[in-house]
Homo-oligomer: A and B are copies of this chain.
Amino acid sequence: MKIEAVDFFYLAMPEIHDIGDGSQDTLLVRVRGNNGQEGWGECEAAPLVSIAAWCCPMSHSGCKPVSYSVLGRIIESAADIQSLNAEVRRNSFDLLQADHTLAGIDMALWDLLGKQHDEPTWKLLGWKKPFPKTAYASQLFGDTPADTLQKAQRVRSDNFRAAKFGWGSFGIDLAADQAQVRAAREGLGPDVALLVDAGTIWGEDVETAASRLPVLQECGVLWLEEPFVSGALKAYSELSKLMRNPLRTAGGEGSHEPFMARNLIDFGGVGYIQIDAGRIGGITSAIEIARYAETHGVTYVNHTFTTPLALSASLQPYAGLETSSLCEYPVEASTLATQLTLESLSIDHNGQVHLPERPGLGMTPNPATIRQYLQPVEINLGDQTIYTTPSL
């Protein structure tokens, strides 16, 4: 099958708020083969910039538009998708945004290949069966410990078996943080897994981060997520060494290519590696890390805050890893995100998510939702129109 067309649809809520909700827009990607079939994927963040990375002119041999390495290629097997990935990275290594653009295209190719072979993507990736994942509910800490207690009780009554609290004012005052973590544990009860997300608040300040470890250990927290900014390997390494089981560091969502994640494992000492398939370059790069994590005694977790399509794509890479059993599950996504696909990925009575057995990623974008939120883009260079949003 030859790649005949790659089409981008920039979808956005009518108003974008200045909050940490990454589901307010998306860049949907449709790849069409010359067999008449189509696959769908999504790029994480800054849709216009990722479109520009697709259609920009070449700067030099190592800075070609992503389109150069994709259009017209033959895709028949998993190996063909892998070599397309290598080609994009070789031809566009000096085009920073290329990783995001590649991510959505790569997802769409795995979706398309699955439809062509009438197999779910996880099977094409080599997994014998998809293990269900325990969904954790991502929550902001409440404004007060009493609010956090209530939020935690609600999570528990909603059947979640794991919950993550973070952001808000967490990380600024030690006593307040202690009260918040204890309230979360009290509300969840002893059996629901508790995770804490520091949202990079401490930069690279190991000492301040370390002062939170006693309360995290006391409350049986499984992971402390992003105590530091993505690249601060030395700080990650030092803090990781101060932790006692079961507490471990978690990080990696900022990785936009596989080595960044591998370095967190090799040098940062993380116990959990969190991969956003929409940012690291897609399913191909994500499964590379899932396998690397497995052989290095690290637990793989998805990072997903948006649509059911992105969630399906982010679970495929570690579907067959039984011991990597947690998954991030978006609970507060925008209507754009929740209505993007005709199907959804819901949580069963055990708080678990099951990947579909349908071909490819098993998620069909809803044309009505696309039409409702579509932002038409046109880019002109000199007297040429080099990009215009295609028709649906």
Contact = CB atoms under 8 A, between A and B. Distances in A.
B94 A263 contact: no
A256 interface: yes
A367 to B, nearest CB: 19
A176 interface: no
B53 A49 contact: yes
Contacts of A44: 94
A61 interface: yes
Interface of A is mostly: loop
B256 A231 contact: no
B381 A94 contact: no
Interface stretch (A16-24, A116-124, A190-198, A310-318): A16-24
Interface stretch (A72-80, A349-357, A371-379): A371-379
Interface in A85-102: 93-97, 99-100
Contacts of A256: 96
A59 interface: yes
Interface residues of A, number: 61
A206 interface: no
Contacts of A59: 16, 22, 24-25, 45-47
Contact of A267 (B48, B53, B267): B267
A94 B45 contact: yes
Given A49-B52, A376-B382, A60 B22 contact: yes
Interface in A207-260: 229-234, 254, 256-260
B233 A24 contact: no
Contacts of A232: 259
B254 A263 contact: no
A57 interface: yes
B58 A16 contact: yes
A267 B256 CA distance: 20
Contact of A97 (B53, B258, B377, B381): B53
Contacts of A60: 16, 19-22, 24-25, 45
A266 B238 CA distance: 13
A297 interface: no
Given A22-B60, A46-B63, A233-B263, 5 more contacts: A18-B61, A20-B60, A231-B258, A234-B262, A263-B263
Interface of A: 10, 12, 16, 18-22, 24-25, 44-49, 51-53, 55-64, 93-97, 99-100, 229-234, 254, 256-260, 262-263, 266-267, 279, 375-382
